[in-house]
Each structure stands twice: as C-alpha cells, then as structure tokens.
Structure 1
Amino acid sequence: MGPTLIYSCFLSGATLAVYHGSPLGRGFGKFVQDAGVTILGTVPSLVKTWKSTQCMEGLDWTKIKIFCTTGETSNVDDDLWLSSKSYYKPVIECCGGTELASSYIMGSPLQPQAFGAFSTPSMTTGFVILDENGVPYPEDVSCIGEVGLFPLYMGATDRLLNADNEEVYFKGMPIYKGKVLRRHGDILKRTVEGYFVVQGRADDTMNLGGIKTSSVEIERVCDAADECILETAAVSVAPSNGGPEQLIIFVVLKKGYNSDAETLKRKFSKAIQSNLNPLFKVNLVKIVPVFPRTASNKILRRVLRDQMKRELSIQSRL
C-alpha cells in the first residue's frame, strides 16, 4: 500500500492521515471522525472486528465519500455494514501484491459496483483466467480459475533478492498471444454480470472428495453457521499414511461467547453440506485464541496447515 498511498495522495494534492496505534478500537474511529477523513482504507478483518465489537457506534463517519479495502477477500455483509456508516457510500476493492508495487484489479467509482467484487483491471494491467489445463477462458464467459497476468506490467519486479524472478513468476506458466504469462497465485471468479471476485490463493485450494474448492468458499459458509463465531480458517491436510485430504476448520470465537469443538463441527458440516456440497465432511474443528497473520493482517493458513500436520503426525505415532 506504500506506493499506492504516496502517489495517490501526494501527486493529487490530497492529505494523508496516518493513525499511531491499533486500528481495532474506538480510538481509531474517533481519529477518522475528528480528522474529517473522506477516503478510508480498511482490511476485511478490521471491519469484521468493528462490526462484532460495535466499537464504532455513535461516531460520525458521514464525511467519508469512499471506502477502500484490500489485503483479504471481503465479506459482503461486512461491506454492507461498513457502507452504512456513511450513507451507503461505495466500498472500492483493491487487490495486488508487494511484487507488483500496486494493484492488478480493482473497483472504480466510474462504474457500477457490487459489494465484495472488482469491476476492472487496473491501469496498464491485462490478465486472463486459466482453466485447470492452463488454457485461458474466453473473456465473456463466467468462470473460476487461476489468474495469469500479462508480463509487461508497470511496477512489477524484474529481479528478486535471494530468489530467481524468472523461476518464481514465469516458470511453468502458459504462453498467451506469444508471451509467457506472469504468475500471481490468486483464484479469480468472473461472474455472469462481469464482476470479478477473488476466491483466495491457489495455495489455499483443496481437493475434497475429488472436488476442488477454496478455503474462502468454506469459510464464508462457516462464518455464518453460529453467532459465536468471529472468524474461521479452513485448511486441508493429507494423512501421513496416505488417503484423501481431511478438512480442518480453525475457529476464533467472539469475546464473551463460548462453544465447543464438537458442537461447531456438527454445525459446520450441516452448513457446508447444505450450501456447498453434500459430499464435503468436516474432520476436525480446533478453537484457537487468534490466527497467525502477516504484517498486513492476512491469515497465514500455511502456518495452521503445518501445525496441524505436525499434530496429526504425532498422533499417528502414538
């Protein structure tokens, strides 16, 4: 977000307001109110916390003209709640990466917007959505697949420290219109209406009963399964002795709420089988106080996955 903020604000003559402290509590909300912020940047996890704790109630955010969100996949209900804080102003999605120094897809106030969705590639960006064989889908077809970026991209890396840029971003990628596509790692859905929805990372896809699905799809269903749930993280782990992948749901409960793993396991299984696929089975639910996160507040599912692999490996040896 550094390059985006600096160039967007200073080159357009805007004022950049930076808060010193945690953005999770009311202090941040009062700062937004008192500073007269007109464009507020958020992360979905922050919005979820504000909504669940009701810490922003009574504050005046009506000077905000646009909300912007990045870092994670958005929740439509949370976006609706956020938008309501300023007469239902739009929530502009922005998705990119450190290695791009910007975004590759975003929303635009010049186009109709939908909560939790993107409306356009960013400036200088081109991309295609690839099927399981690496073949690009036609641009006018609704589909889900891994995104492949056009290789010429303003701001993208051409070398890396301690790694090979070519191997990391281009090796194994298909050729499109005579050029090798750049790997980014997002799973993207193009809707019938032409909007784009990020379905999570390619690394966070799982194979359950022979069917590919993403962590984000499962988490959306599980988040709504019980009012005690603040957040969920879905991972799949293959048993050390072989066999199909096991679905494991990590849960953080809302403050002041109690539940047990077995009760949540039944509720998650029912919700997933009713809303996603009747063949999906929740093997284990683990309640934790917090999720491991990156500096930008993204959930580190691979850390949870590795932790679960170690636990299952120890159990199998006992």
Structure 2
Amino acid sequence: MALEKLLKVQERLWAPEDLRKKANLQDYAAEYRKSLEDPEGFWGAWARRFHWEKPFEKVLEWTLPEHRWFLGGTTNAVYNALERNVERGLRNKVALLYLAEDGREEKLTYGELLDRVRRLATGLRRLGVGKGDRVVIYMPLTLEGVLAMLATAYIGAIHSVVYAGLGVSALRERILDAQAKLLIAGDVSFRRGKGVDLRSIAEEAIRDLPLKVVWFQRAYKAELAEGHYDFHELLWGNPPEARAEMVDAEHPLFILYTSGSTGKPKGVVHVHGGYMVGTTYHLRTFFDVKDEDVFWATSDIGWIVGHSYIVYAPLLEGITSVLREGAPDHPDPGALWQAVERYRVNVMFTAPTAVRMFMKYGPEWPRKYDLSSLRLLAVAGEPLNPEALKWAYEHLVDGGRRGFVADNWWQTELGGPTLGTPLVLPAKPGFAGVALPGVEAEVVDEEGRPVPPGQGGLLVLKRPFPHMMRTVWGNHERYLRYWQEVPGGVYASGDVASKDEEGYFSVLGRADDVLNVAGHRIGTADVESALVSHPAVAEAAVIGVPDPLKGEAIKAFVVLRLGQTPSEELKEALVQHVRRELGPIATPSEVVFLDKLPKTRSGKILRRLLKAQALGKDPGDLSTLEE
C-alpha cells in the first residue's frame, strides 16, 4: 500500500553531466559484476595499493559465517595512513582541519600528525600498553581524540571509542566488556557555547576499577592522582621514537559498541586489513573523492561514520578531513555553510536528521553562503524522507545543476556504504540505492525466500566483504546469530526493505519499526515521510500501539517548523494529509506535538523510547539518548 505508492513514484534526480563524466567510478554495472564474479581479484587489486610488511598469500577464506581476508599478510592501518603518505610526498599537506563553534581552527599536516602519533604512542608504551590491549577513549571531537585513536592502533593496541557524553553506566559497561587497560578521557566538551562536563562522568564510571587514566584537560589542570596522567604531558614529554607495530591483517583495529536503538550494546570488531581496504574503496568510488578534495563527515569519532570517514579512510587516501566540535546550528543555522564556503568543502557526508534540521530553518541560510565547491552530499544513518532528499537537491546543490545528493545505507557492523546511489546513476527519492560493489543484497521473507519486487521483507546480505565485522567482542555466539536469524546462510541486517525492478532498495526502518496495521506492513519511514511532506512539519516519528481491531494503530509524534502553532485543527489537517498521501490504512489514529524527538546521540530517532512511554514499559538501554 504505502510501499506500492512509493514504488510508483519513479522520480529521478541525476547528477549534472560534467560530474558524471569525471566520476571515479564510470561503469557501475561492470564494476559490480566483477566484484561478485571474482571477489579475490577485485579486492586483492585494491589491497595492493597499500603497504604490506609481509604480502598476503590469499585474499579470502570464507567458511560461513566466518570470513578472513588477506591471509598471511601483515600491515598496520595507521602506518598506511601516515608513513606511507609522508613517504609519497604529502608531509606538508593538511591531514586534519579542526573547527570550533567560535570559529577557531587548528590544522595538522601529515608530517605533524605522524610526529604526534609517534610521541603519544611512545607514551602509551611507557604506560604498559601493548599489542592487543584495549584502550577506551572517551574524548570530545578534537584533534586529540583522533590522535588517541591513531596512537593506540599504531602500536597494535585496540581502541574502543565511547561517544563523549554517554552516561556513567554506558561508559562503565563498555570499559568492563572490553576489559580495558587504559582510559583516555576528556574533562569537557563544548556545545552551544557551553562546556559539557565529562570528567565527573568518567570519574564515576571508573570508580574501584584498576585502570590507568590519561586526561585531556581543557577546563583546568587538575592535580592528578597516582596512575592518572595529563594528555599533553604524555604527548610532549616523550620523543617520537615509537614505530608502527606490524600486525596480522585479521588483528583487531577497534571495538565499537553499537547504539542502543535495539537494547544491550554489542562490541563490533573491525580489523586492520579488511577495514583499511574496504572503507577506502568506497571513499574513492562512492564518495567520489579526488586527491585535492576537502572532505567533511559531520559525524563524531564516537560512531562508525567518524571511524570510517573522519579518521581512517580520508587519512589512508591522503585527503584533508574536516572535523567540527559542537552543534551544527550554533552560533546560528548558517554555521555549517559558512565553513563550507570558508574551507571550500567538496564532499560532505551528513545524516537525515541534519538535513531535516536545515529544512526546518529554511533555504535562506544556505543561500547566504557560496556553496559552489560542494559537489556531493552523501546522507546516511536512517531512512532519508523523499521530501528531505528533494529539499537538499534543490537548496544545497543548486537543483542538481552543481552537484548530487547520494543516499546510502550501512551499519556499524558493515563498516562502510553497502547500499547507495553512485553518482553515475539517478537518485530515486525514497530509495537508498543499489547494492554497491562487493555487496550481494536481497529482500526475503521470514523463511529466507526472495520476495517479489515492490514487496516488503527482511534485508539480508548473501556474502561478506572485507570491511564487515569479524565478531562481537567476547561474545562470538552473538556474532553467529546475525547469520542464523534468517534461513539460508545470510547476514540478517535487522532492517526491513523492498526492492524495485531496477534493483533499487528502499530501506523502511528497523524490523521492529515496521507496523502491522490490519495485516498491512507499513514502514514507519513511509508515514513519517508523509507527515514531513506537510509544510507545517519539521520532523516526525511514528510508533504502533496495540489496537483491539487492527492489531496495531499508528501514533504520530510531530515537531513543527518554526512559526507553526500546535492546534486541534492542525492535528486533523495532518491526519487528512497522511490519508491523502498514503491511503486510509496508514492514517495515524493519534497525533502528539513535541518540541523535539528523543534521539540517540548519532541522530537516530529512538522510537523504542516513545513506544515504551506510550505503553508504560521499560525502554531498555538508553545510554545513547541525547540529553
């Protein structure tokens, strides 16, 4: 129903012709075919662009559900990002460009970054950190946060970044689960012009734990107890002696705990070899990044997007990567666009929630700035409403005359873009795109049987790729479950999707975000998109609540655009609008106006919390809830 309507609307938005002609990936179909027919040749060729201390003997060993890549090879992802790039002439190129809300900037070249990583790595070794040890990083989005990640991995230790601002129990749970030897923590982060306390959270989280701590102190220099060290003293008090620890290709690079939109967090493990190879491939072919580009992923190092596309892939490819601490609409809603103009950002990667925020403030903000450098805006994190895609296309890339908006879908577990719209193909509003090279995706029913085009089902992947997770830290059983939930030896993404005749996938949301109203499967994304297409609505979330007649009824939570006032008339108008857009079956039975929606700190709407509150139940793990 809602789905059929979505599939009928075959609007196509193309990238401008000159952009398509210059695309790094010209022939998507041929590339895709090659990646499936000869995965060893395909990924092996890309991997050989990097430095291997000991060359790999075999590209892939796959015994379901275990997969290992670049067997026999030894390397280090940080060596490849730093020494390798300095040696090929990039010593004085800007690697990282840090921006603060107040307009301050700090830059590090590849040469400076290598020097600091070596110094900090020397310091970490002196604290007893070595290969295989876990280091938890609870740092704001700063150059020091990135340095902590790189120095840890440089010596073969395993970092686990916890988003700065998660609460005490979330931080403690992750420290205990990873059995960390060291915590590197900030004392404060800055958001909306104010300091946000991290020190007291970190101190409480490590109470009674036998843990060394390194403090990145910006608010004030505290007297530190025994076993506690100052970040800058550790950095500058050590010579740049350390050298990269060459590790097996399958050696863990990091553990990243997934956000709790579905209960208890899981420690997803990514490894040096495969992660390095896969994330960079997509940086070049999907994000279409060129050597001289300025690339900006508006995420945080606490999330997979920050790991893959603020830190590792851009540095591995010798690109300049931008990071900005603070709120994207502070000091005003033009803050991001001012930075795009000032630093001539070429490719930007953001989230649907940010696009909807830009919409809420209106097109006059981006219009104030020269965005002519921006040719590609990639968006991922949750389903992108057609309305938001069209708005971004219209107001951020000059109606498609200057650039392209590329939707994409992936997960912490998958490391990099999995479904997406390469810029040589047209974007279809409501569709994330096609399966990207290396990815074999399918939509199946509960028995694992493929469903016909246009029908909703479970989104599964039929084969692994190099940058896919290897295990769940300390719980391999949980990893195996991903491959056992749906019959047929496939990876169950936990998302519901449909596929059209041309192979474009529309991801409708989490399996537990799919409503069953009188036997009809309705994606929350469809109803939310219909609500957001009303001119009064900025954001919307819908949940299913028990209904004696229909099984589930739809309850909608709506945030209005600036200048709109809640009223009973508006509620009725919204209900009628959805009825008109999607038909009577998808009509909300209740509409509630909110000032803001509960979200994880990575910008995903926590429908689980709305549902728990509506039903008077325990919402489960809320460690990633944004305050």
1:131 aligned residue: 445
Call closer, same or farther: CA 1:224–1:79 in 2, change over 3 Å. Answer: closer
Q: Which has the higher helix share?
A: 2
One-letter amino acid of the counterpart of residue 62, structure 1: S
Alignment of 1:1-318 (within 5 A): 1-5=305-309, 6-24=311-329, 25-54=333-362, 55-84=365-394, 85-87=396-398, 88=400, 89-131=403-445, 133-137=447-451, 141-161=453-473, 163=475, 164-166=477-479, 168-175=481-488, 180-225=489-534, 227-238=535-546, 244-260=551-567, 262-310=568-616
Query: Mean Cα displacement is larger for which, 115-124 or 39-48?
Result: 115-124
Spell out, residue by residue over 1:216-272, the C-alpha distance to the aligned partner (whole angstroms, 9 max, x if none): 1111112233x3221111101126x89722211011122332022x33442233223
Moved over 6 A (4+): none
- Distance (whole Å) between structure 1 residues aligned to residue 501 and residue 521 of structure 2: 21
- Distance (whole Å) between structure 1 residues aligned to residue 517 and residue 451 of structure 2: 24
- Distance (whole Å) between structure 2 residues aligned to residue 186 and residue 31 of structure 1: 35
- Distance (whole Å) between structure 1 residues aligned to residue 536 and residue 454 of structure 2: 35
Give the CA deviation at 1:30. Answer: 0.4
- Alpha-carbon contact 1:265-1:282 (below 8 Å) kept: no
- Distance (whole Å) between structure 1 residues aligned to residue 587 and residue 431 of structure 2: 28
- Structure 2 alignment gaps of length 5 or more: 1-304, 618-627
SS of structure 1 residue aligned to 2:358: helix
- Distance (whole Å) between structure 2 residues aligned to residue 229 and residue 220 of structure 1: 10
Give the CA deviation at 1:168. Answer: 3.8
- TM-score, scaled relative to structure 1: 0.86
- Alpha-carbon contact 1:149-1:183 (below 8 Å) kept: yes
- Structure 1 alignment gaps of length 5 or more: 312-318
Query: Mean Cα displacement is larger for which, 206-215 or 166-175?
Result: 166-175
- Distance (whole Å) between structure 1 residues aligned to residue 551 and residue 507 of structure 2: 26
Query: Mean Cα displacement is larger for which, 36-45 or 158-167?
Result: 158-167
Give the CA deviation at 1:181. Answer: 0.6
- Alpha-carbon contact 2:406-2:422 (below 8 Å) kept: yes
- Distance (whole Å) between structure 1 residues aligned to residue 361 and residue 425 of structure 2: 33
Call closer, same or farther: CA 1:222–1:116 in 2, change over 3 Å. Answer: closer
One-letter amino acid of the counterpart of residue 57, structure 1: R
- Asked which structure has the greater CA Rg, the reply is 2
Call closer, same or farther: CA 1:80–1:62 in 2, change over 3 Å. Answer: farther
CA RMSD of the aligned region, Å?
A: 2.4
- Distance (whole Å) between structure 2 residues aligned to residue 130 and residue 198 of structure 1: 13
- Distance (whole Å) between structure 2 residues aligned to residue 125 and residue 137 of structure 1: 18
Give the CA deviation at 1:210. Answer: 2.0
- Alpha-carbon contact 1:229-1:251 (below 8 Å) kept: yes
- Distance (whole Å) between structure 1 residues aligned to residue 446 and residue 469 of structure 2: 26
- Alpha-carbon contact 1:228-1:259 (below 8 Å) kept: no
SS of structure 2 residue aligned to 1:203: helix
One-letter amino acid of the counterpart of residue 102, structure 1: G
- Alpha-carbon contact 1:4-1:102 (below 8 Å) kept: yes
Call closer, same or farther: CA 1:154–1:69 in 2, change over 3 Å. Answer: same
SS of structure 1 residue aligned to 2:417: strand
Call closer, same or farther: CA 1:165–1:114 in 2, change over 3 Å. Answer: same
Call closer, same or farther: CA 1:20–1:231 in 2, change over 3 Å. Answer: same
- Alpha-carbon contact 1:99-1:156 (below 8 Å) kept: yes
- Distance (whole Å) between structure 2 residues aligned to residue 119 and residue 13 of structure 1: 28
- Alpha-carbon contact 1:100-1:156 (below 8 Å) kept: yes
Give the CA deviation at 1:187. Answer: 1.7
- Alpha-carbon contact 2:408-2:432 (below 8 Å) kept: yes
Call closer, same or farther: CA 1:165–1:151 in 2, change over 3 Å. Answer: farther
- Alpha-carbon contact 1:269-1:280 (below 8 Å) kept: no
Call closer, same or farther: CA 1:172–1:72 in 2, change over 3 Å. Answer: closer
Query: Mean Cα displacement is larger for which, 250-259 or 153-162?
Result: 153-162
- Distance (whole Å) between structure 1 residues aligned to residue 328 and residue 474 of structure 2: 33
Call closer, same or farther: CA 1:205–1:115 in 2, change over 3 Å. Answer: closer
- Distance (whole Å) between structure 2 residues aligned to residue 112 and residue 224 of structure 1: 21
Spell out, residue by residue over 1:3-48, the C-alpha distance to the aligned partner (whole angstroms, 9 max, x if none): 4313432233221111222113212210111010000112112112
Query: Mean Cα displacement is larger for which, 119-128 or 291-300?
Result: 119-128
Query: Mean Cα displacement is larger for which, 96-105 or 280-289?
Result: 280-289
Call closer, same or farther: CA 1:268–1:31 in 2, change over 3 Å. Answer: same
One-letter amino acid of the counterpart of residue 16, structure 1: S
Call closer, same or farther: CA 1:279–1:99 in 2, change over 3 Å. Answer: closer
Percent of residue pairs bearing the same amino acid type: 24
Spell out, residue by residue over 1:146-182, the C-alpha distance to the aligned partner (whole angstroms, 9 max, x if none): 111124232223322465324541233111xxxx111
One-letter amino acid of the counterpart of residue 544, structure 2: S
- Distance (whole Å) between structure 1 residues aligned to residue 566 and residue 491 of structure 2: 44
Work out which structure has the larger RCO, using CA pairs closer than 8 Å and 6 or more positions apart in sequence: 2
